[in-house]
Amino acid sequence: MTPLNIAVIVKLEPDFSEGNVSYNPDGTLNRAETKNILGPHSALAASAAFYSKVRYGAHISIGTMGPPNADLILQSAQQISDADETFLFSDRIFAGADTLGTAELLKTGILKMQGKMDIVFSGHRASDGETGQVGPQTAWKLGFTFLGNVIDYEVDVEKRTVRAKRSVRLQGFYDIIEEVEAPLPVFIAIDPSYKPVFNTASQRLACEKYKKEANDRAQNFKQYLKVFNAEQLGSDPKLIGLAGSPTIVFKVEKIPKGKAGRQAEVIDGSSKEEMVRVVARLRQALSTMVIK
């Protein structure tokens, strides 16, 4: 028995990196031309799980809901985390689910994984949907304490508790770093600024060992992969997919250009003379006293 049993949920997302991402002339994403990859937030969640493997010893299961070709992101996530098992939940009836329907399915999927979980990790949000709701909703359905925006965490394996630092941002206030302690099991959504650090020589040795193991496993990733459809999962068809989704997208439109807030003076960027005037205007803008 390993000290910790860990699950990670990940997502297939469009690759937003320059050269891979393709935009339509109107500035919107061209989905057909854009490749799909393991989302960057998902990758961070996988590296957070790997941290536990190195520090405490952990059995790691990774799951995703997606089309059949999403097995490739499970391979990427296994490469990062040295996962012991990977799970693809794939069925046409899952498609089109909103966050509630997705969370229900992921909960069912996590319950199919080996053993009772101590920690479930997810990314902060998906780069395409960007709601950040699936993590906390899955946590709620599992009945786990939800800790979001986690930038650092440590586990006390004896006491069965986790100590996490969270970054809380509120409009109109400075950021707050909150340190929280919670009994296991917990659900952790990893903040984009998370960075695992291995301090001691023995940690670095363990890190090397598991990285090598991760490489070997990822090369034979199909050996570790289990695929489930709706029937095999035993999910309630009324609670998943479109039927289990309260929300629908009613319409998509271009955001109308608002009323021009300002009347711009247009300057020819190649004219040196014009630039003298621009600089004078900037100096003036900076020196004016404004009474508010």
Partner 1 sequence: MTDGDYRHLYVVMEQEEGKLVPVSLEMLCEARRLMDDFNIKYSSNEKVVALLLGDGVKAISKDLIEHGADVVVLADNPELRYVRNTVYTKLIAQIVTDQDVAAKVESVDVGNFKKPRYMFFAADSVGRHISSTVLAELDSGLASDINKLVIEDLPLTHQIKTAGKPLIYEKTLEMYRPDFSGFLWTTILCLDNRNPAIERDYHPQACSIIPGVFETKQADHTRTGKVIEYSPKFDQKDLLVKILDRKIMKSEVDFDACKTIVSFGRGIKESPEENVKLIEQLASELDAEIGISLPLSKKPISINQTIDSKYFIADRVIGSSGRKVSPKLYIAVGISGAIQHLTGMKDSEFVLAINPDENSPIKDECDMFIKGKMEDVLPLLIENLKTQKKVVQA
Identify residues 231-290 at the interface with partner 1 (CB under 8 A). 238, 242-243, 245-255, 257-270, 272, 275-276, 278-283, 285-286, 288, 290
Of residues 21-60, which lie at the interface with partner 1 (CB under 8 A)?
21, 23, 26-29, 40
Residue from 33, 181, 213, 231 touching partner 1 (CB under 8 A): that is: 181
Contact status, residue 149 vs residue 168, Cβ threshold 8 Å:
yes
User: If binding means CB under 8 A, how many residues of this protein chain bind partner 1?
Assistant: 92
Of residues 85-114, which lie at the interface with partner 1 (CB under 8 A)?
98-100, 103
Asked if 146 is part of the footprint of partner 1 (rule: CB under 8 A), the reply reads yes
Residue type, 106: L
- Tell the smallest beta-carbon distance from residue 219 to partner 1 (Å): 26
- Tell the smallest beta-carbon distance from residue 143 to partner 1 (Å): 9
Q: Is 158 left (phi over 0), alpha (psi -120 to 50) or beta?
A: alpha
- Tell the smallest beta-carbon distance from residue 225 to partner 1 (Å): 29
User: Which residues, including other chains, have CB under 8 Å from residue 51's CB and lie 6 or more apart?
Assistant: 196, 198
Asked if 158 is part of the footprint of partner 1 (rule: CB under 8 A), the reply reads no
- Residues 86-118: b if buried by 16+ CB within 10 A, e if exposed: bbbbbbebbeebbbbbbbbbbbbbbebbeeebb
Asked if 178 is part of the footprint of partner 1 (rule: CB under 8 A), the reply reads yes
Asked if 199 is part of the footprint of partner 1 (rule: CB under 8 A), the reply reads no
Backbone φ and ψ for 190, nearest 5 degrees, come out as -80, 130
Closest CA to 190 of 121, 120, 285: 121
Beta bridge partners of 6: 60, 119
Tokens standing for 19? 């050269």
- Tell the smallest beta-carbon distance from residue 93 to partner 1 (Å): 11
Asked if 225 is part of the footprint of partner 1 (rule: CB under 8 A), the reply reads no
- Tell the smallest beta-carbon distance from residue 193 to partner 1 (Å): 7
